[in-house]
């Protein structure tokens, strides 16, 4: 199997390579792809040096699988070109997520929807993935009516420019800015750009993607906040159900869900944190408690590494499913 990683020099691309190695995804040839200014750079992977190639070079190689993490415009232009030469594409940008002809996949929830005919498969937004993975078993059991989510999102979701801004501010250095305000010792209620309805794109992704993955009858409202951490995204989630629940069963449902780890013992100061999640693939859930202000309503605190399960790991898991179902040719072309 010939694999192309598009956006290999970026933050998600770097983590993609780590996950690729950890999970031993089989390949006979690996193409590391980036923008023209990065072509020729050398990336070491598994004891071997790889030269970064251009999109055109990768396209000419006709890979069996291309995993894109290079921005929406790149995906819109190049994903169909790769499909035209027989490549299956898993895309980590927002380009195809809300396209009615494309599947939006969290493997633990809806990988079974994939067929051999799905040539471009969309990876959901990082903040959506961790939330819907926790909501999924609860929706099946109790029927979710409404979700109110506030996120506390890592600067790594913005990329290396944001990491540099935080580091510069921490050192008192004037440097390049990813945000319109300082992020060190601050919190910005501003993830992505504002839309006409007053919500940011990040907030509307939580709404629209939850509808597509779980149920379009669930009412969702979101506030997304950028905070000066690097380990992962945190979410305070308030969930109103159709049916009542007991907390013991809720905990059991979450504990039995693949990909979730429950950390919920406040008396021992045990609860999820970005430091807990960093470098791990699990979605961590804690602060599980009933909302005493409203019937049939639950509060959860959900944390996950946005570069791993929120991006790279979810994409590799999709690839694993495609291989398992033999939707990708394992032999080198």
Helices (H), the chain: 11-22, 55-60, 72-84, 107-110, 126-142, 160-171, 201-213, 247-255, 274-277, 313-324
- For the chain, how big is the Rg over CA atoms in Å? 20
Q: Which of 126, 181, 184, 190 is catalytic?
A: 126
191 catalytically annotated: no
Q: Shortest CA distance to 214 belongs to which of 224, 206, 222? A: 206
Same fold, 2-124+311-324 and 127-306: no
Question: Which tokens hold the place of 292?
Answer: 């005493």
233 catalytically annotated: yes
Give the CATH number of domain 2-124+311-324.
3.40.50.720
CA distances for 331 relative to 2, 64, 160, 253, angstroms: 8, 9, 36, 40
Question: Which tokens hold the place of 307?
Answer: 């570069």
For 255-270, the pLDDT digits (tens) are 999 999 999 999 999 9
Examine the pLDDT at 331 and tell me if it is beyond 60: no
Rounded to an integer, what distance in angstroms lies between the CA atom of residue 244 and that of residue 237? 17
pLDDT for the residue 332: 39
Rounded to an integer, what distance in angstroms lies between the CA atom of residue 125 and that of residue 132? 11
Topology of domain 127-306, CATH: Dihydrodipicolinate Reductase; domain 2 (3.30.360)
**213: which DSSP letter?**
H
What is the share, in percent, of the chain residues with pLDDT greater than 70? Answer: 98
Which pLDDT band, with edges at 50, 70 and 90, does 21 fall under? very high
pLDDT for the residue 333: 36
Angle of helix 247-255 versus helix 126-142 axis, rounded to 10: 130
Domain assignments of the chain as residue spans, ordered by start? 2-124+311-324, 127-306
Which pLDDT band, with edges at 50, 70 and 90, does 328 fall under? confident
Rounded to an integer, what distance in angstroms lies between the CA atom of residue 106 and that of residue 309? 10
pTM, entire model: 0.96
For 212-254, the pLDDT digits (tens) are 999 999 999 999 999 999 999 999 999 999 999 999 999 999 9
- Per the rule left: phi > 0, alpha: psi between -120 and 50, beta: everything else, 259 is left
29-33 sheet: strands from edge to edge: 29-33, 2-6, 65-68, 88-91, 120-122, 103-104
**221: which DSSP letter?**
E
For 82-91, the pLDDT digits (tens) are 999 999 999 9
pLDDT for the residue 155: 97
């Amino acid at each position: 199997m010939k694999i192309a990683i598009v956006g290999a020099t970026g933050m998600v691309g770097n983590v993609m390579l780590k996950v690729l190695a950890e999970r031993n995804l089989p390949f006979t040839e690996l193409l590391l792809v980036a923008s023209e200014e990065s072509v020729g750079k050398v990336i070491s992977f598994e004891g071997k040096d790889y030269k970064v190639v251009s999109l055109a070079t990768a396209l000419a190689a006709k890979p069996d699988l291309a995993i894109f993490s290079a921005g929406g415009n790149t995906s819109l232009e190049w994903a169909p070109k790769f499909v035209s030469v027989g490549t299956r594409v898993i895309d980590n940008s927002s380009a195809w997520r809300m396209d009615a002809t494309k599947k939006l996949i969290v493997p633990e929830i809806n990988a079974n929807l994939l067929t051999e005919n799905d040539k471009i498969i969309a990876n959901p937004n990082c903040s959506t993935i961790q939330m819907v993975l926790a909501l999924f078993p609860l929706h099946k059991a109790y029927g979710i009516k409404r979700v109110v989510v506030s996120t506390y999102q890592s600067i790594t979701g913005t990329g290396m420019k944001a990491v540099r801004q935080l580091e510069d501010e921490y050192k008192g250095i004037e440097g390049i800015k990813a945000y319109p305000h300082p992020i060190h010792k601050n919190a910005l209620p501003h993830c992505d750009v504002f839309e006409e309805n007053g919500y940011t794109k990040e907030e509307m992704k939580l709404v629209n993607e939850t509808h597509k993955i779980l149920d379009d009858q669930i009412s969702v409202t979101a506030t997304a906040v950028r905070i000066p951490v690097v380990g992962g995204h945190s979410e305070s989630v308030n969930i109103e159900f159709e049916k009542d629940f007991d907390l013991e069963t809720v905990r059991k449902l979450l504990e039995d869900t693949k990909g979730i780890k429950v950390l919920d013992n406040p008396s021992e100061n045990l609860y999820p944190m970005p430091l807990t999640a960093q470098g791990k693939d699990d979605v961590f859930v804690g602060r599980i408690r009933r909302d005493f202000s409203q019937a049939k309503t639950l509060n959860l605190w959900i944390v996950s590494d946005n570069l791993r399960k929120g991006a790279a790991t979810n994409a590799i898991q999709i690839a694993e499913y495609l291989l398992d179902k033999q939707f990708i040719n394992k032999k080198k072309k």
